[in-house]
């Protein structure tokens, strides 16, 4: 299967002009990529530009609301995103959990809404530095997965992807050891097999995210056998980001 590389632009860049420059540079450099599935997740406001609808990569959003329409000031629904050509949604990112106080229950509702709309949902999970030191990593991952997937029918998991993103590794320049990422991925697969069935456990795609760069990216894919990567900071640097894609192509 092709590696799945997600660019999470977060709340960047701050003008449409800069977003277009970054986007055009990616478009030019990613033309001949065949063996990597690239997904660009810009801020909502840039998603609707026709400039962003190209063949060389897919579009993703960084969040979504669980209702389809109605009196929910400031929110954006799965249907609206799907209508724009968005195929992937990042859900439960630790920045949303910590800064915006998003709960597991909210994430569960969001996952149900995106999967009902046949969008590919990327559930982010991961432990804090403190939890890791206390040896609670697996307990945290289990709890986050069980709550996020609560009451979700088996057949809907086809479009679910899980990103292991240790919080201490995000934007810190301290990436997770390759063998630690691999152990976490195996744990997640086993848990999904236990909660659903072995076939789903084996086929569910697991990504790694947290201080990925062009020096460590291929280790996660080739050594840790991750199915892809979720890249924040480096995805804003088109040269570095494309370097990663080319290594994996
Ligand atoms: P980073 O972010 O690559 O800047 O560490 C990853 C993420 O937040 O998904």
Across the chain, where does the E strand assignment appear?
A: 3-8, 36-41, 58-61, 88-91, 120-125, 160-164, 205-209, 228-231
pTM of the model: 0.97
- Ligand 1 pocket test: which of 162, 174, 212, 220 has the largest number of ligand atoms within 8 Å of its C-beta? 212
Sequence-distant (6+) residues with CB within 8 A of 196 are: 154, 157
Q: Whose CA is nearest to atom 3 of ligand 1?
A: 232
- Ligand 1 first shell, C-beta below 6 A: 8, 165, 170-171, 209-212, 230-234
34 and 5 in contact (C-beta within 8 Å)?
no
85 and 59 in contact (C-beta within 8 Å)?
yes
The pLDDT tens digits for 159-176 are 999 999 999 999 999 999
Ligand 1 atom having least distance to the Cα of 170: 5
194 is catalytic: no
Q: Give the distance (Å) from ligand 1 centre to CA of residue 32.
A: 26
Catalytic, out of 93, 95, 102, 127: 93
Report how far residue 184's alpha carbon sits from residue 166's, in angstroms, rounded to the nearest whole number: 10
The pLDDT tens digits for 217-242 are 999 999 999 999 999 999 999 999 99
The pLDDT tens digits for 119-175 are 999 999 999 999 999 999 999 999 999 999 999 999 889 999 999 999 999 999 999
Q: Whose CA is nearest to atom 6 of ligand 1?
A: 232
Question: Burial of 50 by CB count in 10 Å (0-12 exposed, 13-18 middle, 19+ buried)?
Answer: exposed
Over 70: is that where the pLDDT of 50 sits?
A: no
Q: Give the distance (Å) from ligand 1 centre to CA of residue 172.
A: 9
Tokens encoding 61? 């959003």
Question: For the residues 23-37, what does the mean pLDDT come to?
Answer: 91
Tokens encoding 195? 């909660």
139 is catalytic: no
Catalytic, out of 37, 95, 102, 165: 165
Q: Give the distance (Å) from ligand 1 centre to CA of residue 45.
A: 20
Q: Give the distance (Å) from ligand 1 centre to CA of residue 230.
A: 7
Domains in the chain, start-ordered, CATH in brackets? 3-45+54-248 (3.20.20.70)
Give, in degrees to the nearest 5, the angle at Cα 6 between 86 and 186. Answer: 120
**Residues annotated in the binding site for substrate, as ranges?**
8-10, 171, 211, 232-233
Over 80: is that where the pLDDT of 53 sits?
A: no
């Amino acid at each position: 299967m092709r590696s799945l590389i997600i660019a999470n632009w977060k709340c960047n860049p701050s003008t449409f002009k800069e977003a277009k420059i970054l986007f055009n540079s990616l478009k030019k450099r990613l033309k001949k990529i065949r063996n990597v599935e690239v997904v660009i997740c810009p801020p909502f406001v840039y998603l609707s530009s026709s400039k962003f609808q190209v063949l060389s990569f897919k579009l993703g959003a960084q969040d979504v609301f669980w209702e389809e329409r109605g009196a929910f000031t400031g929110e954006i629904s799965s249907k609206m995103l799907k209508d724009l050509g968005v195929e992937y949604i990042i859900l439960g990112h630790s920045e949303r959990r910590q800064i915006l106080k998003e709960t597991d229950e909210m994430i569960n509702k969001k996952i149900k809404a995106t999967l009902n709309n046949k969008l590919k949902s990327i559930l982010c999970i991961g432990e804090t530095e403190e939890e890791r030191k206390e040896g609670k990593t697996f307990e945290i991952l289990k709890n986050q997965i069980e709550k996020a997937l609560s009451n979700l029918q088996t057949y809907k998991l086809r479009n679910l992807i899980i990103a292991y993103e240790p919080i201490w590794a995000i934007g810190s320049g301290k990436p997770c050891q390759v063998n630690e990422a691999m152990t976490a991925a195996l744990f997640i697969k086993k848990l999904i097999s236990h909660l659903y069935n072995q076939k789903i456990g084996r086929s569910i795609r697991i990504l790694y995210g947290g201080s990925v760069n062009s020096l460590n990216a291929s280790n996660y894919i080739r050594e840790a056998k991750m199915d892809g990567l979720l890249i924040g900071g480096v995805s804003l640097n088109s040269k570095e980001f494309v370097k990663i894609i080319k290594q994996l192509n």
